[in-house]
Structure 1
Amino acid sequence: MNVATAEGLQLPFARPNVLDLAPLYEVLRREAPVAAVTTPAGDPAWLITRFDEVRELLGDKRLGRSHPEPERASRISTAAVQDGPTGNYETEEADHKRMRRLLTPAFAAKRMVLLSDHMQRLVDSYIGHLIADHGRSPDGIVDLHTTLALPLPVAVICGLLGVPESDREHFRSLSERMATYSEGGDAHQARAEFSRYMIGLAEAKRADPGEDVISDLVRAQSADEDFDYPQMIRLCVGLLFAGHETTVNRIGLGTLFLLTRPGQWNALIADPAGRVNATVEEIMRLGAPGDLGLLRYAHTDLDVAGVTIHRGDAVILSTNAANRDPSVYADAETFAPNREEPAHLGFGHGPHFCIGASLARTELRVVFATLARRLPGLRLAKPLEDLDVRPTITGGVTELPVTW
């Protein structure tokens, strides 16, 4: 098959394990960096796999998350997260600028530094539970996913947004259902339930505001007639979902990268403070949760690498494939901190660069530096190929059995 001319390659592509991409991505980068594909929902889209094109298009205002005719837009999946167009085509840019203006102070790098002591206390507590579970376990095997990777990002984002601790399990369940491929419509039912939950929380904040992001958004919505109520609720749902889901996965993937590469794990153990920043950046580059990419729609016709993408076409930007482009990164498939090549695209690029990047980086740095200091003998208790991958749009593992 000539992938340069083939149409309708079916997503997602089968991958050998949770750390490696499907081999087809390497072929597409080389022969067809802009390829016609069929989405998991059965609709047509363009898949972009090469670093230069992905990076350029992430910053290209001719693409957007909204669609000029949303009822005709290609659907990407049967999950309720990044499944189709979002936002208003006429006001998308203004709405995005407002969102960034409102949220930048809450997620600024300086504020994340101030939160690092709180994160350290949380991580120490969760690792303490992990050690206690290890002592009680008959075989010494414990699950780092449920004891650290999952609860830490949940606790941190709940504290920032002002979500009651008693609601954490409820919203976690809703998040899982939203992100799961669902032919029966449960994912969209979960999103509706999530919106109703958020309306209740927003109204509670209106009656009794706190020093948290949701209270800030409620106040902003009351003062700005262009910031409508449904938009505020969608933003709150998106923040709560994305604010924990991606970091949960990166903690799991980062642990797997390090424990399957003893040389890199031992190097981090030898110098946690000195190596953790570069280690986290390499985890963000190589870690590839999910099997799709970032969804955009063409707002006008444009030519990309010799291919014409027409107004309204769906475009999937594979940051996973771009981050392993051998024309950009030497030994691109090798986990190698302290690289000197261009910055990775793990947090996106351009106007939509992840607003939570500083939050995620701070959490990951605290987690891996602390694991290296407190549990230097940590090792996987199950072969990588035997780990189950979550059947969600964001991927990741369902468990992370370790011992020491």
Structure 2
Amino acid sequence: MTTTSEPRTYPFGLPDRLNLDPRYARLRAEEPLIRVRLPYGEDAWLATRYQDVRTVLGDPRFSRAAVLDRDEPRTRPEPTSGGILSMDPPEHTRLRKLVAKAFTMRRVEALRPRAQEITDELIDQMIDHGPPADLVEEFALPLPVTVICELLGVPYEDRKDFRRWSDAALSTTALSREQVQEYLDNLHEYMAGLVARRRATPTDDLLGALVRARDEEDRLSEDELVRLGVGLLIAGHETTASQIPNFVYVLLTQPEHWQRLRAEPELVPRAVEELLRYIPLGAAAGFPRYATEDIELGGVLVRAGEPVLAVVASANRDESVFPDADTLDLRREVNPHVGFGHGVHHCLGAPLARMELQVALGSLVRRLRELRLATPEPELRWKTGMLVRGLESFPVSW
């Protein structure tokens, strides 16, 4: 089967809070692979079914590295400028191995007591100050920021600067092109400065280990070292900081689920997985893969050299894999969601994010049992012009 239809404009529209555009359900049922045209770059295929998404993300015949030689389809003016997210094996494998040990289940579980300690301190401060509190600024941001700072070896007191600069990596229209470039330059200069300090005074943190891998073992270039450090710093806090309020928002606006977790806190790990499946974190599909040979996908022939965008949020609502997929089911037992991606680019920090989300949600359910919105739901402010969905602020009471 082939298609000659005119490419459709994508994204389909602006994100509506955490609601998934209903057009994805129709596409999964009737047109699982369509041609789309994004604001920038060449036209692409859009994959919406679970199995097709997994194929695009996991089949080595689909390349991320190819984006460096093409005008990749994207929602932001700036094309991909390199780094681990635009590599294929074996180059990708070489860099990933350098940091993978820090994010194993065993290493992450060893961090759980410290994450719990940070979480309890933040909740203590919220209780001491009294309601209302901004769950974003007072809880969701400082928890993952503190953890990644300690793991990587970044001074926590610099958080206001690198948090502001991190927006450059996630902005579509929120920042001007000049601001994006300025912030990215600032981030790379900041990380290069931390690297220089590690050379002068070696440390045992993750950044110190990367510097040793560069200087003593020649396992990565200086540019790769700085880019990897920046990537870890951004990825280590941004998405988790968005998902904590997203989780709580969904639970408080569907209060029967908050009540269930209060009554059955042992469901928290399963609830985290279900919320990761249910919430469409990305504002739209990104990070296209290029076919390296002709491949049939979703009943359509994708030609060698054509890019494909995989819609993770749509895959996670595929009824053929997840019964009652549009329903939040905190008791869902079989949950092979692709919220952390799939294949060689499966999120390296997934174990860390899972642990932090479990600790955060479990602690809120246990200690702030009467948690509720402190402002009417329609008045909540959502991020705009960003690659991820989330609340700018989230006033809560208890």
The TM-score with structure 1 as length reference comes to 0.91
Task: Name the aligned partner's letter for residue 398 of structure 1.
Answer: E
Separation in structure 1 between the aligned mates of residue 390 and residue 15 of structure 2, nearest angstrom: 14
Q: Shift of the alpha carbon at 1:366?
A: 0.6
Measured after TM superposition, the shift of residue 227 of structure 1 is: 1.6
Q: Structure 2 vs 1, CA of residues 87 and 358 (structure 1 numbering), >3 Å: closer, same or farther? A: closer
Alignment match of 2:246 (pick from 244, 248, 253): 253
Residue 64 of structure 1, CA deviation: 2.3
Equivalent in the alignment of 2:382: 389
Q: Could you say which residue in structure 2 is the equivalent of 1:217?
A: 210
* 1:74 corresponds to 2:65: no
Instruction: Confirm or deny that 1:205 pairs with 2:198.
Output: yes
2:319 maps to 1:326: yes
Query: Is 1:400 aligned to residue 394 of structure 2?
Result: yes
- Give the alignment of 1:218-297 within 5 angstroms: 218-225=211-218, 227-272=220-265, 274-297=266-289
Secondary structure in 1 matching 2:44: strand
Deviations 1:152-198, CA, capped at 9 Å, x for gaps: 11111111100012211111010023322245332133112211111
Identity %: 38
What is the rounded CA distance, in whole Å, between the counterparts of 2:183 and 2:14 in structure 1?
28
Q: Aligned equivalents of 1:348 and 1:88: distance in 2?
A: 15
Corresponding letter in the other structure for 1:153:
P
Inter-partner Cα distance in structure 2 for 1:97 and 1:164: 29
Residue 120 of structure 1 corresponds to: 116
Q: Distance in 2 between matches of 1:184 and 1:88?
A: 23
Greater Cα offset, 34-43 or 260-269: 34-43
Instruction: Give the aligned partner of residue 22 of structure 2.
Output: 23
Query: How many Å separate the matches in 2 of 1:151 and 1:7?
Result: 46
**TM-score normalised by structure 2 residue count:** 0.92
Kindly indicate whether residue 4 of structure 2 is the aligned counterpart of residue 13 of structure 1: no
Rounded Cα–Cα distance in structure 2 between residues aligned with 1:359 and 1:132: 28
Asked whether the equivalents of residues 63 and 291 of structure 2 are also in contact (C-alpha less than 8 Å), the reply is yes
- How many Å separate the matches in 2 of 1:257 and 1:328? 22
Counterpart-to-counterpart distance in 1, 2:86 and 2:128 = 55
Cα distance between partner residues in 2 of 1:315 and 1:187:
26
- Residue 374 of structure 1 aligns to which amino acid in structure 2? R
* Residues 292/84 of structure 1: CA separation in 2 closer, same or farther (3 Å cut): farther
Amino acid of the structure 1 residue aligned with 2:40: A
Alignment-derived partner of residue 137 in structure 1: none
Given candidates 124, 130, 153, the residue that maps to 2:126 is 130
Aligned match for 2:332, one of 319, 330, 339: 339
Hey, what does 1:170 align to over in structure 2?
161
Measure the CA separation in 1 of the matches of 2:375 and 2:308. 37
Residues 7, 225 of structure 1: CA spacing in aligned structure 2 closer, same or farther, 3 A cutoff?
Answer: farther
Q: Following TM superposition, by how much is the alpha carbon of 1:85 offset from its aligned partner in structure 2, in angstroms?
A: 6.3
Partner of 2:52: 53
Q: Give the secondary-structure state (helix, strand or coil) at the position aligned to 2:101.
A: coil
Partner Cα distance (2:335, 2:264) in 1: 24
Distance 1:266 1:342, change over 3 A: closer
Counterpart of 1:314?
Answer: 307
Determine the C-alpha separation between the residues in 2 that align with 1:89 and 1:111: 23
Q: What secondary structure is seen at the aligned counterpart in 2 of 1:18?
A: coil
| Partners of 1:89 and 1:175 in 2: CA distance | 16
In structure 1, distance between residues paired with 2:303 and 2:184: 30
| Structure 2 counterpart of 1:152 | 143
With over 3 angstroms needed to count, the CA separation of the structure-2 counterparts of 1:61 and 1:384, relative to structure 1, is farther
Residue 103 of structure 2: SS of its match in structure 1?
coil
| Corresponding residue for residue 95 of structure 1 | 91
How many matched pairs?
Answer: 392
Letter in 1 for 2:397: T
In structure 2, distance between residues paired with 1:15 and 1:270: 37
Q: Distance in 2 between matches of 1:89 and 1:104?
A: 15
Summarize deviations over 1:114-159 as a string: whole Å, max 9, x none: 111111111111112222332xxxxx42211111011111111111
Contact 2:37–2:73 under 8 Å retained in 1? no
- Superposed CA RMSD in Å reads 2.2
Alignment check: 8 A CA contact 1:296 1:314 kept: yes
In the alignment, residue 343 of structure 1 is paired with which amino acid? Answer: P
Cα distance 1:263–1:58, how it changes in 2: closer, same or farther (>3 A)? same
Residues 22-55 of structure 1, C-alpha deviations (whole Å, 9 max, x = no match)? 1111112122211211223254222111101011
- Whether the 8 Å contact between 1:33 and 1:49 is mirrored in structure 2 is yes
Query: Separation in 2 of the partners of 1:34 and 1:84?
Result: 24
Return the offset for 1:211.
Answer: 1.6
* Cα distance between partner residues in 1 of 2:128 and 2:6: 54
| Unmatched 5+ stretches in structure 1 | 135-139
